[in-house]
Copies of this chain bind each other. A is one copy, B any other.
Amino acid sequence: MPDDLDLRKVRYFLAVAEELSFVRAAERLHIAQPVLTRQIKALERELGAALFARSTRGTALTPAGARFVDEARTVLRSATAAQRRVRQAARGDARLTIGFMPGILPTATVRALRERFPQLTVEVVRTSWDDQVEMVLDGRIDASFVRFPIDPRGLTVIPLYTEPRVVVLPAGHPLAARPTVTLAELAALELLQDPQAVPEWRGRVVSGSAVRPGAPPPPRARTVEEKLELVAGERGVVVLPESTAHFYHRPDVVCRPVEGLEPNQVALVYEANRQTVELRAMAEIVRAG
């Protein structure tokens, strides 16, 4: 049964699904638009399903196409992870790459692993909230110390500990004079990070932005350094776990505890499918320690 899915076509499909335009998707893929049209038609024929509803004014996903988006992402991730891992295995060196979010210190775990497997090369990679899970899924890292909330798709999650979160304010801000602040007092301020990372904020943000309908969206910062820079520039505030906020210190911002903010959960995640001795040992070490 030679009905293997063609990953090239799947990748093309995802580009069209994301751009909702054959023309834009084609230039993003650096191929000509007619090629893309033909490849997508072939994919639809192979799958026996219409994926896009075309019109002369643009393209939309069919229900089947919408369904295929998630599947396609999963398949491509799985494939790239397989490539990465076998390349790594081929280099012959036993290697374990561990991701960690700022403020989390995997030092003890790394040391224990190196003692137990002297020939194992242990690497550490700093992640960000956006990619802390993604990097495990596509094989760039083997395990990751993450901060909630996460989407644990297909991953094993070992909760470790929680820690309080604080708000980072510009040093000159009126609230900075207070020893502690409440969520309500922060309602009028811009949140300079993904709202999903601070679910408690969400209600505030929506009602707050309704006050100023024409206001431009607040800038988004990916790394902690960027967030602090924006805060120092008085563009708004961010919420960070205590250890993260205290790890970086600059004189023009201050941290204050916030009443009513849930503590942040730290966990170890790794792919449930994978069962190397090193990974199992690491789970053991972390669970015990």
* Residues of chain A at the chain B interface (Cβ within 8 Å): 2-8, 10-11, 47-51, 62-64, 67-68, 70-72, 74-75, 78-83, 85-87, 89-90, 92, 152-155, 271-274
The residue on B at minimum CB distance from A50 is B90
Partner of A64, one of B8, B11, B51, B86: B86
The residue on B at minimum CB distance from A44 is B90
Q: A74-B78, A78-B75, A89-B68 are in contact. Are A2 and B8 (CB under 8 A)?
A: yes
Do A152 and B75 have beta carbons less than 8 Å apart?
Answer: no
Q: For residue A3, which residues in chain B have a CB less than 8 angstroms away from its CB?
A: 83
Distance between A86 CB and nearest chain B CB, rounded to angstroms = 4
Do A7 and B8 have beta carbons less than 8 Å apart?
Answer: no
Do A64 and B89 have beta carbons less than 8 Å apart?
Answer: yes
Q: Give Cα A71–Cα B3 distance, bound, in whole angstroms.
A: 19
Q: A5-B7, A75-B78, A273-B74 are in contact. Are A86 and B68 (CB under 8 A)?
A: yes
Q: A4-B8, A5-B82, A75-B78 are in contact. Are A63 and B92 (CB under 8 A)?
A: yes
The residue on B at minimum CB distance from A79 is B5
Do A272 and B90 have beta carbons less than 8 Å apart?
Answer: no
Do A83 and B272 have beta carbons less than 8 Å apart?
Answer: no
Q: Give Cα A79–Cα B72 distance, bound, in whole angstroms.
A: 8
The residue on B at minimum CB distance from A137 is B273
Do A82 and B72 have beta carbons less than 8 Å apart?
Answer: yes
6 contacts between A and B (CB under 8 A): A4-B79, A5-B7, A5-B82, A49-B89, A70-B273, A78-B78
